[in-house]
A and B are shown apart, each in its own frame.
Chain A
Amino acid sequence: MEQGQTMRGADAVIKVLAAHGTTTVFGYPGGAIMPIYDALYGSEVDHLLSRHEQGAAFAALGYARASGKTGVCFATSGPGATNLVTSLADALLDSIPVVAITGQVASAVVGTDAFQEIDVLGMSLAVTKHSFMVRSIDELVPTLYKAFEVAASGRPGPVLVDIPKDIQLAEMQYQTPLQALETPVVETISNLEQAKQLIRASKAPILYVGGGVGMAGAVEQLRDFAKQTGMPSVATLKGLGAMDKENPLYLGLLGMHGSKAGNLAVQASDLLLVVGARFDDRVTGRLDSFASKAKVVHLDIDAAELGKLRAPDVAITEDLREVLPALSMTLDIEPWKAEVAALKAEHEFNYNHPGSLVFAPRMLRTLADKLPEDSVVSCDVGQHQMWVAQHMWFRRPEDHLSSSGLGTMGFGLPSGIGAQVARPDAKVVVVSGDGSIMMNIQELTTIKRRKLPVKILLLDNQKLGMVKQWQHLFFEERFSETDLSDNPDFVTLASAFDIPGKQISTAEEVEPALDEMLNSEGPYFLHVAIDDAFNVWPLVPPGASNSDMIETLEKE
C-alpha cells in the first residue's frame, strides 16, 4: 500500500477495509456518514444497501458466521446507529466478529443535541466487546486497525467505531500502522496433565461441544479426538455442525429442546469435557442438577467463562487446536459406549406422522438430506429454529446460522443475505416462521436489488408458536396476543419483490416443492402452511432438571 498518500479520513476508512480483506460492506447512508459513502463510490470495496440498519448489521453477522471473516456494516448517526443495537447485542452473545462504523455529527457540535445526535459511544457499552469514538484525524487509521484486531482476537465480538463528520472530511497522510507479530505458538498447555488424568480415570465421559470449536477452527481436531477416544458427544445450538453426523455416539443437541438420549447421557456421565461452551441456562436446565455426578474439564479461550456458572475441576484456556490433540488418548469405556448407543436407539426421533398435513420435523429432515455439500441454513427464532436444530444436520458449524444467545426474531433473512454474499456459490436457505419473517421483511428488497438466489422456507402456523406453546403448557391456555391469523398473503408479498414462490399445505406436496425451490435459479419463497397444534418436543420445563424431559403432552 502506498504510504504517505494524502486523502480524506473517509477515503482512509475504505482503504483500511480493503486492507483487511473486506469484500462487501452492508449499510445504509445518511447525513453524518455521507463522506464515507462518497469515498465508497467507485471504490474497490463493494457495498450492499439494506433497507434498515438492523438488516445491514445482521447481514454483516451472517457474512462473518458463514465465512469466518470479520463482517462490516455502516450506519449514520442518531437513528442509524440506534438501529444497530439489537444486531450488535446478538453478535456479542454469539461471539461474532463484526466492525460497525457509524457516522457522528461534527466534533464541534457533539454534546449540543445536534440534529441526529445521540451518544453512540455511551449507547454501545452494553452491546459491544469494545467501542471507540475517534477524536482526531491522527487516531483514525490506528483505531480502525485496532477495531479489526479486537473484533477477531481471543473470544471474538462486535466492535463499534464512531467517526465525527469533520474527521471523515479532514485531510491526512495515510500510514499503515505497525502491527504486532502473529500470536506465538503455544509452547506449554497449563493443567494438561491434570486434565488427562481425569479423562483417563473416567468411565462415562461426555464431550459437550459449543460454538467455540468452530470459531477456533478446531473442527478437525475435535472430530479426531472423538474418534480416537470414542467419547460420546452432544452439542449446543452454536456447536451444531462441529461433530461429524456419522459418528455413531454423537447425540445431537442437548438442553431444553435437546435429544432425550443426549440429556440422559449427560446426566449419567462422570466427566464432562466442555469444549468452547459456557453452561448457558437453556443447556443446563436447573443448574445444580446438571450432570451433578460429573467432574468438569472446561476448555475455553475466555477465562471469564471458567467457573462463572459451574466450577471446573480442571480448566484450560489455550488454543483448542493445540489442546484437543494433546488431550487425545484411547479409552477403555466399552460398557458406557454400549449404554449410550442403547439410549440413542431408544430415543430416535420418529418421523412417521399420520395424516395429510405437513409434518415440519420430517420436512426439515428431508431438506437437510437434499442440500448440496456447499450450503448454509439461516434460521430465525422460535419453534422452527428448534426443529431445524433437532432434525437437520450440518457439515460444518458455519453452515448453520442461528441467533443462539440473544434469540433475536428477524435474524434469519438478513443473516442469510450476508451468508449468500460471503459464499456466492452456496445454496443458502432461510428457514423462518410467520412471526420472525415480518421482523425484517423489508430485506426482501435487498435480495431483489442484488438478485441473490436465497431460498426462503417459511413455516406458517399463523401463530407466535413458541410463546403459544408455553401459554399452552404453563399459562392455562390463555393465548394472549399470539394469534397471527391476520398475516399477509406471503406468496403475493414475495411476488411484489420479484421473488417467485408457491404455497403448500399437504405432506404429499413437500418433496416436489423442496425440489422446485432448490432447483430454482434465483430467489424462491416456499410458503408452508402447518397446523398450529404441532409443538416442539421433547422439552425440559423451565426450572426443571434435564432428567425430567416431557416427551409430549398433546391433546393434539
Chain B
Amino acid sequence: MMIHALELELHQRPEVLERILRVARHRGFKIIKMNMRSTSDVDATMELEVDSERTVDLLSNQLTKLVDVTQCRVLSSTQTAQTASL
C-alpha cells in the first residue's frame, strides 16, 4: 500500500467536504488523516492523507474535476511497511 499526502484549495461551500470524501471513497482511497480550515468566507484549504493500492493520479485527477476544488497538489507518496488492515 502507498500513503499519499495531498493539499487542496477549495471554495467554501456547505457540501464541499462531502464531495471530497465521496470521491475518495468511491475511487478506492482510505482517508487516514484530514485537516480542513476556512481561509476566508469563501475559501478553504485541506490537507489529506490517503492509503490505497491504486495510483494517486486516479484520485487527484478526479478531485481536480470537482467544480469547488480550485487546486489539488500531491505532496508526497510513501510506501507503507505493512498492509493496512481494512
Contacts and interface: CB of A to CB of B under 8 A. Distances in A.
Interface of A: 121-122, 125-126, 129-130, 133, 150, 302-304, 307-308
Contacts of A304: 61-62, 64-65
A304 B64 CA distance: 9
17 contacts: A122-B15, A125-B15, A125-B19, A125-B22, A126-B22, A126-B26, A129-B67, A130-B67, A133-B14, A133-B15, A304-B61, A304-B62, A304-B64, A304-B65, A307-B57, A308-B58, A308-B61
Contact of B15 (A121, A150, A302): A121
Contact of A122 (B18, B57, B67): B18
Contacts of B15: 121-122, 125, 133
Q: Chain B interface secondary structure, helix, strand, loop or mixed?
A: helix
A308 B28 CA distance: 13
Contacts of B61: 303-304, 308
Contacts of B19: 125
A308 B65 CA distance: 14
Interface residues of B, number: 14
Question: Which 9 A/B pairs are nearest by Cβ-Cβ distance?
Answer: A304-B61, A130-B67, A125-B22, A304-B62, A304-B65, A121-B15, A125-B19, A303-B61, A150-B67
Nearest to A157: B65
Nearest to A121: B15
Contacts of A125: 15, 18-19, 22
Nearest to A306: B61
B65 A302 contact: yes
Contacts of B58: 308
A122 B17 CA distance: 11
B27 to A, nearest CB: 10
A133 B65 CA distance: 19
Contacts of A126: 22, 26
A295 B61 CA distance: 23
Contacts of A122: 15, 18
Interface in B8-27: 14-15, 18-19, 22, 26
B64 A303 contact: yes
A373 to B, nearest CB: 38
A256 to B, nearest CB: 24
Contacts of B62: 304
Nearest to B63: A304
A303 B15 CA distance: 24
A302 B61 CA distance: 9
A304 B57 CA distance: 8
Contacts of B26: 126
A303 B22 CA distance: 20
Contacts of A133: 14-15
Nearest to A126: B22
